[in-house]
Amino acid sequence: MISITGLRKSFGAATVLNGIDLEIRQGEVVSVLGSSGSGKSTLIRCINGLEKIDAGKITVDGFDVSKPRELSEARKRSGTVFQLFNLYPHMTAVQNVALAPIEVLKLPRMQAEAEARELLHSVGLTERADAYPSQLSGGQRQRVGICRALAMKPSYLLLDEVTSALDPEMTSEVLSILAALAKTGTTMVFVTHEIEFARSISSRIAFLDKGQLIADLPTEEFFSATGMALPRVAQFLSKMRKD
Amino acid sequence: MKFDLSILAKHIPFLLEGAWLTLQACTLAVLGSLVLGLAIGAMRTSASPLLNRLAAVYIDIFRNIPFIVQLFFFYFGLPEIGIYIDAFTTGVVALSIAGGAFTSDVIRSGILAIDPGVIEAAQVSGLRKITIFRKIILPIALRASVRPLGSVFINLILTSSILSTITLNELTGSAKIVASNTFRPFEVYFVLLVAYAALTYSVSILIGMLHRYLNRHQEEGAV
Ligand SMILES: Nc1ncnc2c1ncn2[C@@H]1O[C@H](COP(=O)(O)OP(=O)(O)OP(=O)(O)O)[C@@H](O)[C@H]1O
Ligand SMILES: [Mg+2]
């Protein structure tokens, strides 16, 4: 379980997350929605320890991410997929995927690379396994990014707008992989602007507004009268649907 | 007096010995300055203010003092306080230290130019700091630094001629001797000029090849 209680985060004078309580249990797919600047990326970056939190507590399977010793355990349990892929440019797809299993899990290189090839095969990149990131399309790069996160066999997958740098065709190739992952029970925290997709794969929707979690509802409730009763949610959804 | 290179024929073995010494000194100094540059460059980008400051001071000192003064200090100054080092070692060490100030600056820019997102990806995947440095930061920074490092190394080769001032008969030192023995400075220094040009030109060709090889995957047009 990822457990977030009383999370506060400021950048200088600006409070970006203002008292967040959120739990993500094994097997759930939680989509985090909210308008630009509402703090979604910051929330993800707090969970994986890229940002120091100012108050509150975040634990991943009981490991406190604010404690340096526990952070590495917490990080072993969650994988992050980034908006801009952030692949290692000097390594091939296989090397990108196998690096952490070799260095962190201490798998033998042969085994790690074999598993990496299998993962790449599962996302349709059998032929591109030995290509460098610069030789791949955006959609292919993001599929490598997903494999890299999955290679650590994480209990939780954190995804921050993983398709927003992609064109529609590439977006759908990445989304179909995520849909398959959701079906197989991978726990995901999914930050997105793809409302309809979020609706189709999520068990719950968390809605951030100016650093506060103003809704945390089962998906169908969120998209029904219960969600619409919240003015900010209604406003957000109508704006997103227009775009 | 006419231009006649043939009179140098019998001095060629002596000049070659000098060239060999230059080659040895430069190879060692290139390696030394690279190792120092990596250490200082890493310190310069480290989160520790103390390491950072120390590295900055090192770079400032050795880039702002004429090389010949550094060299004289090591070779003529240190014996005064009981430290004796032979000319060759002094030369290599001095070149490495001075070169290191420049290579560390190149490596520092190489490190700073790395997309922070790439490093964050390595952090969240649970890699230890030292592993991130070895497997991600260093290889990316070095690939980006090949060309500017090449110019530093070429400068280092040119600067190595100054080692002749501490009795080291490397290429320039031996040329001086031949010039004064033959009274033919024009021919001797003409040969010297060609030799240095050939040396630095081959190094720059090598650097270009190394750059293309290490960055081969970035040049095949990105999709
Ligand atoms: N490193 C930082 N330094 C200062 N301010 C920051 C930093 N990171 C984020 N912010 C600010 O925090 C607020 C929330 O940013 P965040 O990136 O979390 O929003 P978001 O919900 O992910 O937005 P988007 O949908 O545009 O990605 C923004 O106002 C942003 O400017
Ligand atoms: Mg964001």
pLDDT per position as a tens digit, A96-121: 999 999 999 999 999 999 999 999 99
Mean of pLDDT values over B111-117:
95
Residue B221 located in a structural domain: no
How many angstroms from the chain centroid is the CA of residue A9? 19
For ligand 1, whether the C-beta of A11 sits within 6 Å is yes
Please report which confidence band the pLDDT of residue A204 belongs to, taking 50, 70 and 90 as the band edges.
Answer: very high
Q: Do B62 and B129 contact (CB within 8 A), yes or no?
A: no
Query: What's the CA-to-centroid distance between A184 and ligand 2, angstroms?
Result: 26
Please report which confidence band the pLDDT of residue B1 belongs to, taking 50, 70 and 90 as the band edges.
Answer: low
CB spacing of A86 vs B131 below 8 angstroms: no
Strands A187-191 and A29-33: parallel
User: Residues of chain B with pLDDT > 70: what percent?
Assistant: 97
B115, B125, B138: best mutation site toward chain A, by most A Cβ within 10 Å? B125
The yes-or-no verdict on residue A138 having pLDDT over 80 is yes
Query: What's the CA-to-centroid distance between A41 and ligand 1, angstroms?
Result: 7
CB spacing of B126 vs A49 below 8 angstroms: no
End-to-end CA separation in angstroms for chain B: 64
Q: Do A105 and A162 contact (CB within 8 A), yes or no?
A: no
Residue B1 located in a structural domain: no
- Tens of pLDDT, residues B157-207: 999 999 999 999 999 999 999 999 999 889 999 999 999 999 999 999 999
Task: Please state whether A191 falls in left (phi above 0), alpha (psi between -120 and 50) or beta.
Answer: beta
Q: Check residue B222 and give its pLDDT.
A: 38
Query: What's the CA-to-centroid distance between A53 and ligand 1, angstroms?
Result: 14
For ligand 1, whether the C-beta of A192 sits within 6 Å is no
Interface of B with A in 192-221 (CB under 8 A): 217-218, 220
Please report which confidence band the pLDDT of residue A227 belongs to, taking 50, 70 and 90 as the band edges.
Answer: confident
How many angstroms from the chain centroid is the CA of residue B35? 10
Residue B197 located in a structural domain: yes
> Domain range holding B145?
6-214
Q: Check residue B223 and give its pLDDT.
A: 35
Atom of ligand 1 nearest to the CA of A193: 25
Residues of chain B with Cβ-Cβ distance to A84 below 8 Å are 117
Q: Check residue B219 and give its pLDDT.
A: 53
Q: Which domains does chain A have, with CATH numbers?
A: 2-242 (3.40.50.300)
| Ligand 1 pocket mutation, candidates A9, A11, A207, criterion most atoms within 8 A of CB | A11
In the sheet with A55-60, reading across from the earlier edge strand, the strands are A14-24, A2-11, A55-60, A63-64
The residue with tokens 């169908």 is: A220
The yes-or-no verdict on residue B217 having pLDDT over 80 is no
Mean of pLDDT values over A4-9:
96
Residue B111 located in a structural domain: yes
A136-140, A236-240, B116-120, B160-164: the lowest-pLDDT one: A236-240
CB spacing of A134 vs B218 below 8 angstroms: yes
Sort A90 into a burial class: Cβ within 10 Å, 0-12 / 13-18 / 19+: buried
Q: Do A23 and A1 contact (CB within 8 A), yes or no?
A: yes
Distance from B19 to chain A by nearest Cα, in Å?
Answer: 37
DSSP per residue over chain B, as a string? ----GGGGGGGHHHHHHHHHHHHHHHHHHHHHHHHHHHHHHHHHTSS-HHHHHHHHHHHHHHHSS-HHHHHHIIIIIGGGGT----HHHHHHHHHHHHHHHHHHHHHHHHHHTS-HHHHHHHHHTT--HHHHIIIIIHHHHHHHHHHHHHHHHHHHHHHGGGGGGGT--SHHHHHHHHHHHHT-HHHHHHHHHHHHHHHHHHHHHHHHHHHHHHTHHHHS---
A243, A222, A167, A181: which is closest to A32 by C-alpha? A222
Residues of chain B with Cβ-Cβ distance to A137 below 8 Å are 223
For ligand 1, whether the C-beta of A39 sits within 6 Å is yes
Q: Check residue B221 and give its pLDDT.
A: 42
Interface of B with A in 116-145 (CB under 8 A): 117-118, 120-128, 131, 135-136, 139-140, 143
The yes-or-no verdict on residue B2 having pLDDT over 90 is no
Q: Do A206 and A22 contact (CB within 8 A), yes or no?
A: yes
Distance from A234 to chain B by nearest Cα, in Å?
Answer: 34
Residue B135 located in a structural domain: yes
Residues of chain A with Cβ-Cβ distance to B113 below 8 Å are none
Total number of domains constituting chain B: 1
Residue B210 located in a structural domain: yes
Task: Please state whether A53 falls in left (phi above 0), alpha (psi between -120 and 50) or beta.
Answer: beta
Q: Which residues pair with A64 in a beta bridge?
A: A59
Cα distance between residue A134 and residue A143, in whole Å: 14
A150, A153, A171: which is closest to A161 by C-alpha? A171
- Tens of pLDDT, residues A143-168: 999 999 999 999 999 999 999 888 88
CATH number assigned to the domain comprising residue B171: 1.10.3720.10
Q: Which residues pair with A191 in a beta bridge?
A: A32, A160
Residue B115 located in a structural domain: yes
The residue with tokens 């097997």 is: A27
Cα distance between residue B44 and residue B39, in whole Å: 9
A153, A214, A164, A215: which is closest to A187 by C-alpha? A153
Alpha carbon of A234 to those of A37, A213, A229: distances in Å?
Answer: 18, 15, 7
CB spacing of A86 vs B115 below 8 angstroms: yes
How many angstroms from the chain centroid is the CA of residue B16? 21
Residue B184 located in a structural domain: yes
